[in-house]
Chains A and B, each alone.
Chain A
Amino acid sequence: MTIRNNLRQTVAGVPNPKYDLFIHQQTLFKFWSFIGKYYQGELLQNTDLLHTTLREFTDFIKPRNPKLVEGLELISTITNSELQNVIFDYNQLFIGPDKLLAPPYESAYCSPEGLLMQDETLAVRSFYFKAGLEVSNKGQIPDDHLGLEAEFLAYLLWNQRISLEECTVGDNDAGTFQQMYSQFINQHIITWIFDHCNDVIKHSTTNVCRAIALIMYGVLDLEKHCLV
């Protein structure tokens, strides 16, 4: 497969800024894909695969801040016993049936009464719609569930990559997806993700869930500085 000029690390001997962007986006894509699957409940049935996937984080995420350092270190300490119990930890944090220790919903953190299906949820629904998407179980699963928001971000990054690759212009160009990505992160992630991660870090009973929260915190901490 030929590498197009816009994706080469250097072009005519000069470092290609688009390349750094490309690598950065790939890292984020991998990260958000993981978060999407994790919060949608996948990866929990096969804890070996979960463990492997987590260990891969150290390959593509550089420990640039204390939270990332701590999170990546924690991954290496995960025991088999913790992996066996991760499902109980995960459910206590995110699923139920008891009071959620870290509800994975934007409106639970941002709305005045901490409920689901609030203005934030509908704003997210509008945002998805602008991008031509909607929740499969619309009206039943809140649109601002972190699993869905992460899937959306991964979707935007995927499309951005395609555009970068194909060097398209217009509605489908990388710039549009970049813009949507930044807007969504600013409006719908930064507003609550740190409190959510802190809740996980505080209440988690396994280093699995805690490590993921630390990494997410660390990634978003970097992201919020990068975004315009």
Chain B
Amino acid sequence: MDKKISFNRRTFLKGAAAASAGLAIGSSTSSFNLTGLKPADAAGDNKAQVFRNACPRNCYDTCAILSHVEDGVIKRVSGDPGSTYTRGILCAKGFSYTRRVYSPDRIKYPMRQKGRGSGNWQRISWNEAYTEIAENILKIKKEYGSTLPICLDKYSGNFDIMHYGIEGMMSSLGYTSRATGTPCWPAGIDAQTFDMGTIISNDPEDLVNSKYLILWGVNPAWTSVHSMYFVKEAQEKGCKVVVIDPVLTQTASKADLYLQIKPSTDGALALGMARYILDNELYDGNWLHNNAKGYEEFFGYVKNNITLEWAADKTGLPKAVIEQLAREYATTKPANIWIGYGMQRHTNGGTNVRAIDALAAITGNIGKSGGGAQYAHLQTWGFNYHAMMQNPPEGTEGGGDRAINMNNFAAEVLAAEDPPIKMLWLACRNPMAQDPETSVMRKAFEAMDFVVTVDQFMNATVEMSDIVLPTTTLFEAPGVNVSYWHWWLYLNEQAIKPMHEAKNDITIAMELSAKLNELKPGSCTFPTSGDLEEWVGKEFNDGIYQMFGINHWTDLKKGPAKAKNSQVAWKGGKFQTPSDKYEFYSEEAEKFGHHPLPIYVEELKTTDKYPLRCISPHWKLNIHSQFQNLDWMESINNEPRLEIHPSVAKEYGIKDGDSVKMFNDLGYIILPAKITGTVPIDTVVTYEAWYKSKDFNVNYTVKAIPADMGKKATGMPGIAFHDNFVNIEKV
């Protein structure tokens, strides 16, 4: 307590007498001791500025943002018109960014929980946090002779390139355990890898050139809003838009033709169409002859195994509809298919994508403007990954990092031996909410000695952490962003100072390294200081400069840059498969335990006990567990719903708004029913979302069932999120 302003009690006794004894404060020339305030400098920086930012979320659109700053405060954000994909507009989530930066509920300071899960949090200084973390790391290193007991679970919460510095931080400690794989899209990636060699998609701005567009298991009206502009443009130029989706989505409502397919049977539809195309000789024999391998075997399979009657029965679509679709698709040029990630989150997701790719190949649509089989690409991601590439400390023993399946994370963390996993580092990920089998995840967290989470807001993972470190938003640190869909490159400038005590992940890595080396010299190789803008600069190389036609990364401060020559994927037919051709017949697929051809693999079926399928697609107002926690979003939609078909509802005696329990042998959720004909019969739908004040998580019922593919390109198979079988009852 500051003595200068302390008062002698006697001065203030009730009654006057004591007061005349004088002021015990000290002489009147002593000055007030300021703590949070200080004498003002000259009039501050009031000037209005506009900064360039980029949304680093896991989203097709990765928007170019302009942040408008006055008096050091972001007044509003807007889309950058300098990008012909963003076109000056953001989505509802993007526009809500100021509410995220300036939320009173943001994690502001490092905090330590006294008893994981207790809710009793103490504020600590960064120095205290680093000290405790470093001591734990060094303790583990000493006890186990390695840092393998430390496990990183990090993924798509932030895709800014600099955030790979988090992996770099781990590498700089030694060899560690790493959550490996990706839950989102690996089955489809493998499928396209087997077929074409890797994932490359057309510039989405090229969608305007399509004359026939199938949006297959994708809902861009919600999840890639900027693409809808190009879809609409295409429609206005005469393109027929077909949506194939078990759910009548907002995108479907804008289609010329909507086909409500039975979930997980997409491969059957594609193969049925292929049969029609084969029978009616609507395939492009020339293209196949020049560019494909194994098409005769594929045709043989289709002829001998696939009939339109079978396809109609499997998919629930009338035979005549399939025939019409096949005829239109094969004869309209150019014809395009956009394959969604939701579509491949099934046990047969990968092979279904292969079958759809095959359609594009047999009709000669691959490598054409306005045509192709679009999924994703990583062509613009050729950075140095300088922040990521760190060396282990001298004297580190062992062969490398240990891979832990991200898609079966909890079970593998618990099962890890020699050495066991004792410490978790969570960043850009929220596994307590996101992962299937929540109860197993909880057990995994409880088994840890020490858990550190880096985040911006309270969530289920932070709740189970020992220490939480507050991190910066995109506006508070520099970075660089590209997309897995469009072909633009955006610099992210620092627009404002970090709020409260938030720090960027690279800053955290540098300062933790400094602490580690202070306690034990040589224990961490991560640089202990550095300017963040310089770190950004180090990510660039000649390849990027050439691809984007810029001289220096600082050119990006003047505006975004687009990849030259990005228009059309696989133009000229030079594929990246072992044969350099499009491979219907893939020995690579065989090596990974799949049939070499894109055959139909039976979909998982419901059981008597759990006769309903639950699909949990992506919601429009959040990106996984981000954004929905903001008050503003809560005011728009604060409640999950279980969407049930009217005939199913009738059968179960459920009316709109009734409280329904959805359950299986794993767990249950209780939520209000919404009766709607937009969902298929025998399928219930609840959107993947989390609500700040509700204990709602569809993952209570979701098992970590692997998808068929994903191991080749991403190290682990994907998750069949939409093969969740349940039953319901009115409560």
Q: Which residues of A contact B (CB under 8 A)?
A: 1, 3, 8-9, 19, 23, 26-27, 29-30, 33, 36-37, 40-43, 49, 53, 56, 59-60, 62, 85, 87-88, 91-92, 95-100, 103, 105, 108, 113-118, 121-122, 125, 128-129, 132-136, 138-141, 145, 147-148, 151-152, 154-155, 158-159, 162, 165-166
Contact = CB atoms under 8 A, between A and B. Distances in A.
27 contacts: A1-B22, A9-B16, A26-B12, A30-B12, A33-B5, A40-B36, A42-B1, A60-B12, A62-B14, A88-B121, A91-B121, A91-B122, A95-B111, A96-B105, A97-B121, A97-B470, A99-B692, A99-B693, A113-B632, A115-B103, A129-B40, A134-B37, A136-B34, A151-B34, A152-B37, A154-B32, A165-B28
* B interface secondary structure, majority: loop
Most A-side CB within 10 Å, residue of B111, B114, B692:
B111
A141 B692 CA distance: 25
Contacts of B468: 97
A56 B120 contact: no
Nearest to B70: A122
Given A60-B12, A154-B32, A139 B72 contact: yes
Given A3-B22, A97-B458, A166-B28, A128 B73 contact: no
B99 interface: yes
Nearest to A140: B497
Given A26-B12, A30-B7, 5 more contacts: A3-B22, A97-B470, A140-B498, A140-B500, A154-B32
B462 interface: yes
A30 B114 CA distance: 33
Given A26-B7, A42-B1, A97-B458, A133 B500 contact: no
Given A96-B107, A140-B499, A155-B37, A122 B16 contact: no
B105 A117 contact: no
Contact of A132 (B16, B39, B72, B119): B39
Given A40-B36, A56-B9, A148-B36, A117 B41 contact: no
Nearest to B12: A60
A215 B32 CA distance: 24
A154 B31 CA distance: 12
A147 B102 contact: no
A115 B105 CA distance: 9
Contact of B98 (A85, A115, A125, A141): A115
Contacts of A108: 104
Interface in B480-538: 496-501
Interface in B54-107: 71-73, 98-99, 102-107
Q: Which 5 A-B pairs have the closest CB atoms?
A: A60-B12, A103-B104, A139-B72, A115-B102, A134-B40
Nearest to A165: B28
Nearest to B45: A139
B571 interface: no
A94 to B, nearest CB: 10
A145 to B, nearest CB: 8
Contact of A105 (B104, B123, B501): B104
B452 to A, nearest CB: 13
A99 B105 contact: yes
B37 A135 contact: yes
A194 to B, nearest CB: 18
Interface in B1-56: 1, 5, 7, 9, 11-14, 16, 19-20, 22-23, 28, 32, 34-41, 43-44
B103 A116 contact: yes
B323 interface: no
Nearest to A145: B36
Contacts of A152: 37
A128 to B, nearest CB: 7
Given A128-B40, A134-B40, A115 B104 contact: yes
A151 B104 contact: no
B107 A87 contact: no
A189 to B, nearest CB: 16
Contacts of B35: 36-37, 40, 42, 151
Nearest to A87: B122
A206 B37 CA distance: 29
B109 interface: yes
Nearest to A136: B38
A161 to B, nearest CB: 8
Contacts of B103: 115-116
A133 to B, nearest CB: 5
Contacts of A88: 114, 119-122
B123 A95 contact: yes
A96 B108 contact: yes
Contacts of B38: 133-136
Contacts of B28: 162, 165-166
Contact of B37 (A29, A60, A136, A165): A136
Contacts of B9: 56, 59
Interface in B114-131: 114, 119-123
